[in-house]
Structure formats: C-alpha cells, structure tokens
Structure 1
C-alpha cells in the first residue's frame, strides 16, 4: 500500500536529499548535493532502520508541517528545533510513531545550528536524476520537481522496514553522546593544500589562517559558507595569465570542503558548490568533519585545526556514534608539507607536482604556472589512462587546464597508494606531442553585450561593490587591460577566435573553460573580487586567458562579453537535437567553439527553442593534432610575441593603476 505525506506548510527551505548524493559527475560540473549535515541525516536513517543513504528532508531555518493520512514512523535530527504531533511535544533523535490522520509540525531553528532533518521509515520515493534523488535547486533537478517543497505537495513514502533497535538493550533513539555537538563556535579539522605557502600564500598568511577565529557571513548557503577574517598578504603580486589578483590560478578542480579564496574572500565550498574554478585553496576540511558546514550560522566563530591526512577518519567507515562524540580532535599536528605530496620530472623534463586535495583527493599539476596546451594534452593522456585502468577506489577524475584531480574513497585506497600510482604511471604514458583527439567544431550564437549582463553588473554595483575597476562596463575594462584601441577591437577578437574546450563544469553544468587556439586572440583579464552573487544563465565571460559559458544562474567572476544558448539540456534524457541521448551536457573536451552574432531579441527566441527541445546547434566533426598546432605556433611566433608584448605592457599599466589606487591593500566590505 502506498503511504503518503501531505505538505501543509513547507518551512523556509525544505528539500529532498539522499546520501552521498550525485556521485560521478564532478567532471561535468554536477555537484553531489545531498544533506549538508550528513551526520545528522545518516543517524536519523539508522534510528529508523533505513540504509544511511535513504532519501529524506533537509530543512533550513524552519521545518515543515506534514499530515500523514495513513500514519508513519519518522525521526527529526539536526539542530535543536521544537517538534510536535497534533500539538503534543515530541522528541528529536528518536523514532516517533504517528497515528493515521495525525500532523507532524517541525518549528523554527532559533540556534544553535542552521538545519534540521526529517527522516521517514522506508524513506521518500522520488524519481532519480543522474543516479540520485538529491535536490539541486540552482539547476532545478532532483528531489521533488527540482525545487523546495511547497504547500499542497504530496510525498510518497517507501515501505517501513519495521521497528529497529540501535542496540539490543535500548530503543531506537540516539543518546546525547551520540548526537552531533552543535554550538556557536566551530573547530574544523583541515589538511594542508592544495595551494599553500610559500608558492601562493606567505607563511604569515598560513599562521594567521590557523590562529584566527573567522566569522560566518550571512551570505552563506549550500554552495558555500562565506567567512569574514583577515586579508592575506599573498606570496605573489598577481596570477599572471590567470588574472590580475594573486588568488587567480589556471582553472583547476575543487573539492567539497575546500577553503576557496575568491579574491580576498574565503569561502568553504559546500555540497552544491562548483567543481572547477580559478581560485586558490590553502586548506581543505576533512570529509569526516564536513557535516559541520551544514550547521554553521551567521555570526558563528570558526577555527581551523590542522590534522594529518592519513589519520583523518573516513565517513564511509567510521562508526557514526564515535564521529558524533569526537567532533573536533581527530589528530594533532599536520603533514607539514605545504600540501605538496611529491615533485618529479617526466622523461622529457616536464615538472610534475602532486598536491593534496583534502583527505580524499590528489591534484596532479603539469609544467609551470602558464597556459600551455601541451600540458593540457599531457593531462588528457593521464586522464584516458586512468579511465582505461578502472582502478578500484577512484571515484572521480576531473581535468583542469594544466591539472587532473583524482578523488578516491579513502576507506578503499590510501592517499599514499594514490600518490605512488600517479608517480609511477607517468613513466609509462605515451608522448603527448603526437596527440590526436576528436575535436568537433561547435558554432554558437552570441548576443554581444547582452542586456542580461548589464543587469548583473548593476546588481553587483548596488549589492556587492560599487568601486570595482571593471565597472560599470566589463568590455571597456577588457579593452583597457589588453591595450586595444577601442571596444570594437574586443568585439572583433571574440568573434574571430576559435576556443578550445579544456574543461567542463567551470561554474556548473557542462560549462566550458576554453581558450583561443591562436594566442593573439587570448584576451587576458582578471576576475571579480569579490565574486558576483548572480550571473545570468549562459552568460559568456572572460577570466584570465579563458572564456566560460555559465551553465546556469549563480555566482561568478568572469568579465562579461555577452550571452548564448544553453550548454545543458534540462529536458534530459535527450529530446533536444544537439544533445546526445542520455547526455545532458552539450560539449566535450577539445571541442572548438566559435561564435556568430545575433541580436538580443533573436537570442531570446533561440533560447526558448532550445529549452522546448526544438533547438539545434551546428556541430562538425574533426580532430585536434598537437603536432600540427605546435607547427602553427612556430610559424606565427614573431607576430604572437609582438601581441604578447603589447598585452603585457597594458596589463602592467593596469596593475600599477590598481596599486596607486590602493586596490591591493583595501579591505573589502563584508
């Protein structure tokens, strides 16, 4: 018999989640989602006799009112919150039997904490999207119609597994010492890396980071917890081709729990955070402590505690009761290696750096901190080799511009094993100068200087920062920092360029990070500092030497040039002609993107057609040959060098103007 729950009132933000969420799609910009406080979520399921990953509800700030026509068993966990059944108080952290026709009311979280969880015996039954029912509201997929619950929704419950005992001598409830410790001051266990001192931050910066209480900013959500604290001194003056600010790097994969410095602003990336981006991350919260991000409230204090990666507990194997009872001190000290696991050179002399990316990830970087497509070719060779081997324990492989992030299950394989594998496998890889890969030509419409980008800039000016050097017009800033004569020159370069796709998921959902094949078309800019809080879906921007098409609405930092059509098919499994069946992302690695001009009004029509499944994109098959490309660079070496000298002069002049204006020493407003 189907059991229902009627949503009388949804609460402030209540979504369906499961654990561990949507795993296996990090490389195309799909975050795992899932419960932000997975510890509370998993304990609740265990108390009901469900598997730990069974779908339930996450409630932010306040919970729902639910009516159960046929009765049910539920468990409410997470932050302290008033719970009642038909007006009578009911406990948290234990199984509650609800009679047929009764109503469960979960009230407001008044502190400490931010989120509570409602779990159901048998779980919630919702359709899966990319192998999970977890809700990703920003992309409108997963969960209950891809959104938060609304009054009038009907939820379907699974079959109750029957009464469950946590231990033989006690009823299905969690003792106090088994519940997560939720307060207003947090200590987060972190590992060093991937981007530490002395390359990116000064030693003093890292000392400050580990000895300072940071404050949780009100502008925090499931994408990340924004913090307020000291501004770094930085070990570099700028990010070179990656951008003018020293936080800028060539795009690389992030991991959940990374402390991401977007300019001078530190953000702890959450389960709905981006998979790829161009900012440094000095430390990463270990996987066993990430549940705390879900309970951090505005004004809470946060202190980072360094731990050794090989002693960090895995949430997959650690007993949940122990994880709750010992939430802070996992080990003392740190790895004392600045996040660098190994350095070596390949047979042809290419430098390789293996960096720690939390307790479950390794970042492989090739070459120097410059844009070199030969290094991206080397990344691709390693990526294909690891995919072909199908190594047990490796869960995600995410290419960046000059890097490959390898995520693994630390309960199945150790970080030492992964490091040894990566150091040894490079010796067996084929040469990259003869690499030939499939490379389609993809023609996309571009509404130049689209009105939606003007709206985003105005929101930024009025809501984030009014005195930014790139405001009020990003295109004029691009002209100035590249030493071009007028904005028409920017227009001409963008439409003449052919952009090679180096990564997908640059700010979500198959969004490409791409660079012009011809270096004379590589307009170099810096990224917003701090980042925007809103970017229109499919805006086209330039950051560092890269072009990005934003896969969906959300935060961002690239300088706008216009807007195009969708690069993600929300009508998955595939009724839009440009998308392969079962594959909602349009682009592939090494695709070549070119733009053709359309008016803003025409783009509205094209976007409507694409959203309705009627749209199409002109795609032509082809190949990319590394040897042919190296030949092109050699033939055009002199004019390319002349362009770069002009560009470097303008870049230096802009940097000096920023220095004179105090841009590098200013304290950003919170």
Structure 2
C-alpha cells in the first residue's frame, strides 16, 4: 500500500472476512458442535427430536436478579469503536454446559448473577445448569448441576440464589436460545442497550425462542473438567504491557504479585475492583497524559488487564472499555479469565506470574483450565518487564512491542509525548495489516501512539507476529506524506451542563468529597492551565478544532480527540478514584485529550459540558466486520457517528435546547452538519513550524501552572516523590 501523496480510501479498511479468525483461542469450528472424547460419555440420546409445529419457547416466570442472554466468544471485531465482546464472564462453565447438550460451544444461553430465574418450557427440553452452586429444581424437585436434565412440557426450571463460592450460574438449553443478533452476536451488553433481543436483562413474562435441539446428548460434564470455585483465587498472569521500572518501581511489581488483593463490592461485568496497597510509582506524573503517574496516552486495553485507574486496581471484564489512559502492569492469561466471572466481594485474589508459553490454550475445556494451575506450571516469570522487542524506525523514532497477555501485542511508537506524526505512523501500520488480512488476527485497535493487535496464538503465535511486524516496518512509507479523509463535524455543546454538575455531586457524596477538582471541574481546568478566568476555558474550547485520534474511549464510538493547534490544548488530570457514574454524552478533558462519553458509566475526564449522541441506537446492523474496519462490508449505515481523523467543532447551546436536540436525535430527526476535507501531515508540520514561538510561550505558561498544581498536591499528600 502506498501512502505517498495519496488519499486513503475507507474501502481499503475492509479486510477479507474469510481470513479472520473469530476469537482468541477459538478455532473456526467453535460455533459448530465439537465432538470431543472429553465432552461426553455414554450418550443418553442420539435420536433427532421430532420437529415442532410451533417454535419451542421459554416463558420467564421470574427473571432473577441479573439474568442475560450471552453467547461465546461474543461480539468480536468492534473493539476499535468501543464495543466490548461481552459474552459469558465465565466462558468455561458456559461452554462445558453447551458441549454436553450437543450444542455449538458458543450457542446462546443464560448468565445468572447472584440468583437465577424461574423458567417454564413449552415442550420437553434438555437443560444443563453450570457455574456457581445454587439450588436448582424442576417442578419443585431438586436436580444436580453439571448434568443434563429434561424439563417436561409445561415444567418449570427454578434456579435459586447462589450459595457460594462463586458469583454466576449458567443455564444452557438444548438447541440454544434464538434472538436477533446485533453486530454479529446475541450477547447482551446492558450498558449499550443492545443484544439479547431487548438489550436488557430478562423481564417477567418475557418469552425466549429456542433452536432445534441436538441429536446427541451426554449425561454430565466429567467431574475432572468442572471448574473449581473458592474464596481465594490464583490468577495466572503475564508481565506487561506497563511494567517496572518505566511506570512501577521494582518494589511495586513485587507487591502486585506478592499480595492477596480483596474483591471490592463495587464490581461488575465491566471490571472487578480490588482493594490493595497503593503503589509507590516510578514517575511523579503522567506528563501531557495527566497529573497522576498512572496516566498515559490512551491505548487499547484487553480483557483481563489489571488496570490502575489512579491508585485503584481494576481487572477489566468482558463489558469493559476498549480504550483508556491508565497503566496495566499484568494481564490475566486467556485461559484463566473465566475466573473473573466468579470473583465475589470479599474474595482474595493472588496474581501468579507465569511464562507466556506456559499458558493453557483458551480453546481447551479440560483439566488444565479447571483450577488454579498457575502455581503448578509457573517456572518463574518472563522477566522482561513486558517488553518483547525494541527497534528503531528511523534516527528519531523507536518502536516498542509490549506484551498484552498471551494473546496480544501493543505496538508503541516514539516517546511518551503527544505527536500527531506518531499517530500517522500507527495509521500506516493499521492500514498495512488490514490490507494483508493475515489469518489469526482478531482485533486491531489504534490508540494515540500505539496499535493493539490481538491474535489467536494457535493460528498466529506471538513470535511469528513479531516477525510479521518487523517485516511490515520495512514496507511502510514515510508517514510525513500521509493524506487521509478528514471531515469537519459540527456538534452542539451545553457548557457546564446540569447533568455534569449532578455527576460531580454524586461523586462528592459517594466517592470522594475532598478531590482537588471538586466542586467545579472547569475551575480546576483553569487553575491547572494558568488561565486568568473560567471564561478563558470557555473561549479555548469553542475556538479549538479537535482531531479524532481514537474511537471507543469509554465505549460506543466515543472519540478521544486533541486540538490541532497546541495552543488550544488544555491539560488536566483524571479523577482518582474514577467516577462510578457519568451522564451519556458528557464532554470532558483528561491529559491533553477531549472525550465524548458514548453512554452512561464510569469515567475520569474533567467535565466541560454535554452534547448530542455519538451512537445511534436506532441503527440495527447485523453484519460481521473484520478487525479494525470502520464500517460494515455489506451495510453503509453504522451506529457510530465519528471516524478516525474527523475534526470536531463546537457551537454553544443552552441546556434546555440540548435536551430537545437529544430527543430529536433519538427519534432520528437530526442531521449533523459535516464538511469533507483532508488531513495532510506535511501541511500540519509546516503550521507547527510557522507558529513555533507562540506555541512555546503557551506551553511554558502551562508548564508553570502544572508544576504549581503538582506542588500543591504534593503538599496535600496526593503525590509523593
């Protein structure tokens, strides 16, 4: 692919779908019945079920506390625009239950959290209940878990409260559950309000349609294959991507792998919060990325990463964010991530470092995945601080390949600075990998100065991937010649919106009242940037043109963007701890970046206001995308509004006007004004050179204010040297 003075057509982003493996550790047959000697013995039925004149169905008598439809491996191929995979949090229990019923391992079933539902079946149906121990009854008669059980026509399967240990129980049904897929999956993502048919947990009196039952059943999941539950867990982890001594001290890292962390009550499918010691940190701050040393320029996360949001460690779950600006020192290997679904508040967690080649294949369902194998297989850790390889692109730019679990690599360019030239280099590599369509690549997710590559290591081992990336560097053109489509998108902004004020109030009452950014984020932004008045913050934001560098920064097409003019870059830090609630489409600044929150959820950027939706819930595409593509191969309509290298310009609206615009947008009545154009890196660098003096003056003033704020934090005990 040649980037020399050429326009990059979006159509070039479309990799052939037949060359893309569906999921890490997931062979191509994973959505078809797998006939394995480990999965079943002594079949109790091998006669096809008679076809029914009416669809087989389940009627929900009692929905349970949080019962959702999930399939495995979930919603793959949309990580780059902020759509998480979802799917069963404990995929091991889920897949084993499907296997003994003769279903495809990925067939849709039900995940039950803390307590299960009561379900009435229209026809005789075989079921298997797996996962954490609960009281399971059919028409009032107790039945065993992990066994195939027939529920008679009109019979009720009742799954009661989980008795522990463990957090989630799974109900698998012969034939699976049939719901309309969204973005290629039936999995429910409740925060995004899609999947599972309704985008929500089960409701009383809801009906679910069942697929055709299998011709082969087994009596039970073998005892040797059943996962072991406990109140103290060992999670096998690999080092990286962000280790010592760059981000953490050596003592920090020894503490991380030598401490029993406690599971916090505020945990869910997005992430498992942990209680543990505060790191000492190897840095005093995150520079342009933020004041706290945990802050980095946004990069793609991976499920199972231990994410330090400030000083708070969080294990990212299958509904977690795809992009963010915090460091992750270790990552749970793919085969052990099922344990995240069973971690219960009060449980203890110990991270056991293993060499990446010792991790069990995620596709396995046998003994090697059932228990805490980390201590058994550990032969010391990788000992490379998460760095797989370093090379030089040219005299000025290096590239670092960081380990992200046993199934991913984070490619980082240059130093820890905000440089659009580095984002251009990331774009060139991204486009190159899409063009070659290498089999085994699962996801490609660009960050500010990085590209995350997730693979199926059984198809594309990490050492071979590193060789492939080295070959790619030799073929990439000079990024200075990059020319890419760049629309200007005009969006309304309700400055200091009442919804963001409410979020700050909630934070002060429920999380932290004494934070330096409370009670008014805009005043904090003013102070950190040395501006005379809050009106100067207002003027800077509305004068700026924000270039979209990444999507999915806090879900669903949410952009991470930075002003093209460095004199408009307001630098601030992120909440520590993070907020537990952020209003949908709040606009905030963190580090030197601006973000629009795609949906309600946690967050850490400092609020400046709120805008209209960046995700269209009315769109109902069902196509399958390859990794990192910007649109569907068969449908030009997409739910997300923005694209890489779009430019956002704000115009002010009152809060009441914004509510009307949001209502119209939700009804499909609003058109966003856009203007087509190009982004040319060579022209941009010429602009920087022509304005170098005034840019330097602005940065010096900003640096003085930043240092003053940092000193005040140090005095208050917020930072230590």
TM bracket (short chain): over 0.9
Asked whether the equivalents of residues 115 and 295 of structure 1 are also in contact (C-alpha less than 8 Å), the reply is yes
Specify the SS of the correspondent of 2:177. coil
Specify the SS of the correspondent of 1:108. strand
Asked whether the equivalents of residues 251 and 401 of structure 1 are also in contact (C-alpha less than 8 Å), the reply is yes
Partner of 2:327: 280
- Return the alpha-carbon distance in structure 2 between the equivalents of residues 588 and 144 of structure 1: 28
Partner of 2:208: 155
Partner of 1:254: 301
Deviations 1:275-327 (A, max 9, x none): 000000000000000000000000000000001112212212x2434422564
- Return the alpha-carbon distance in structure 2 between the equivalents of residues 225 and 325 of structure 1: 19
Partner of 2:418: 371
Specify the SS of the correspondent of 2:337. helix
Q: Which of 637, 642, 648 is matched with 1:582 structurally?
A: 637
Gaps of 5+ in 1: 166-171
State whether structure 2 residue 211 is matched by structure 1 residue 164. no
Partner of 2:175: 122
Asked whether the equivalents of residues 77 and 117 of structure 1 are also in contact (C-alpha less than 8 Å), the reply is yes
Partner of 2:31: none
State whether structure 2 residue 276 is matched by structure 1 residue 229. yes
Partner of 2:717: 662
Partner of 1:450: 497
- Return the alpha-carbon distance in structure 2 between the equivalents of residues 327 and 19 of structure 1: 23
Query: Where do 1:263-662 residues align within 5 Å?
Result: 263-316=310-363, 318-324=364-370, 327-328=373-374, 329-573=376-620, 581-662=636-717
Specify the SS of the correspondent of 2:331. strand
Q: Which moved more, 1:344-353 or 1:474-483?
A: 344-353
Partner of 1:197: 244
Specify the SS of the correspondent of 1:442. strand
Asked whether the equivalents of residues 96 and 365 of structure 2 are also in contact (C-alpha less than 8 Å), the reply is no
TM-score, normalisation: structure 2 = 0.90
Specify the SS of the correspondent of 1:526. coil
Deviations 1:611-635 (A, max 9, x none): 1111110011000010100000000
- Return the alpha-carbon distance in structure 2 between the equivalents of residues 593 and 181 of structure 1: 50
Asked whether the equivalents of residues 37 and 293 of structure 1 are also in contact (C-alpha less than 8 Å), the reply is yes
Specify the SS of the correspondent of 1:139. coil
- Return the alpha-carbon distance in structure 1 between the equivalents of residues 620 and 320 of structure 2: 24
Partner of 2:192: 139
Deviations 1:134-192 (A, max 9, x none): 00000100003000001110011111113423xxxxxx202322210001000000000
- Return the alpha-carbon distance in structure 2 between the equivalents of residues 582 and 447 of structure 1: 27
Q: How far 1:424 sits from its partner (Å)?
A: 2.4
Asked whether the equivalents of residues 181 and 197 of structure 2 are also in contact (C-alpha less than 8 Å), the reply is no
Structure ranking higher on relative contact order (CA contacts 8 Å, 6+ apart): 2
Asked whether the equivalents of residues 387 and 402 of structure 2 are also in contact (C-alpha less than 8 Å), the reply is yes
Partner of 2:85: 32
Specify the SS of the correspondent of 1:290. helix
State whether structure 2 residue 230 is matched by structure 1 residue 177. no
Specify the SS of the correspondent of 1:137. coil
TM-score, normalisation: structure 1 = 0.97
Asked whether the equivalents of residues 475 and 487 of structure 1 are also in contact (C-alpha less than 8 Å), the reply is yes
Asked whether the equivalents of residues 500 and 591 of structure 1 are also in contact (C-alpha less than 8 Å), the reply is yes
Q: How far 1:333 sits from its partner (Å)?
A: 1.3
Q: How far 1:665 sits from its partner (Å)?
A: 5.5
Specify the SS of the correspondent of 2:406. helix
- Return the alpha-carbon distance in structure 2 between the equivalents of residues 4 and 327 of structure 1: 40
Q: Which of 5, 14, 18 is matched with 2:71 structurally?
A: 18
Asked whether the equivalents of residues 350 and 366 of structure 1 are also in contact (C-alpha less than 8 Å), the reply is yes
Partner of 1:169: none
Gaps of 5+ in 2: 1-51, 622-631
Q: How far 1:346 sits from its partner (Å)?
A: 1.0
Q: Which moved more, 1:639-648 or 1:303-312?
A: 303-312
- Return the alpha-carbon distance in structure 1 between the equivalents of residues 472 and 483 of structure 2: 21
Asked whether the equivalents of residues 226 and 267 of structure 1 are also in contact (C-alpha less than 8 Å), the reply is yes
Deviations 1:81-122 (A, max 9, x none): 110011110010010001111111000012100000000000
Deviations 1:197-232 (A, max 9, x none): 000000000001111100000000000000000000
Asked whether the equivalents of residues 585 and 614 of structure 2 are also in contact (C-alpha less than 8 Å), the reply is yes
Q: How far 1:330 sits from its partner (Å)?
A: 3.8
Partner of 1:100: 153
Q: Which moved more, 1:349-358 or 1:50-59?
A: 349-358
- Return the alpha-carbon distance in structure 2 between the equivalents of residues 595 and 128 of structure 1: 35
- Return the alpha-carbon distance in structure 2 between the equivalents of residues 176 and 4 of structure 1: 30
- Return the alpha-carbon distance in structure 2 between the equivalents of residues 57 and 152 of structure 1: 16
Asked whether the equivalents of residues 15 and 144 of structure 1 are also in contact (C-alpha less than 8 Å), the reply is no
- Return the alpha-carbon distance in structure 1 between the equivalents of residues 365 and 680 of structure 2: 51
- Return the alpha-carbon distance in structure 1 between the equivalents of residues 153 and 598 of structure 2: 45
Deviations 1:445-501 (A, max 9, x none): 000000000000001000000000000000000000000000000000000000000
Asked whether the equivalents of residues 233 and 372 of structure 2 are also in contact (C-alpha less than 8 Å), the reply is no
- Return the alpha-carbon distance in structure 2 between the equivalents of residues 449 and 206 of structure 1: 40
- Return the alpha-carbon distance in structure 1 between the equivalents of residues 665 and 441 of structure 2: 35
- Return the alpha-carbon distance in structure 2 between the equivalents of residues 364 and 326 of structure 1: 30
- Return the alpha-carbon distance in structure 2 between the equivalents of residues 205 and 464 of structure 1: 25
Specify the SS of the correspondent of 1:138. coil
Query: Number of matched residues?
Result: 656
Residues 326 and 47 (structure 1), Cα distance of their counterparts in 2 relative to 1, 3 Å cut = farther
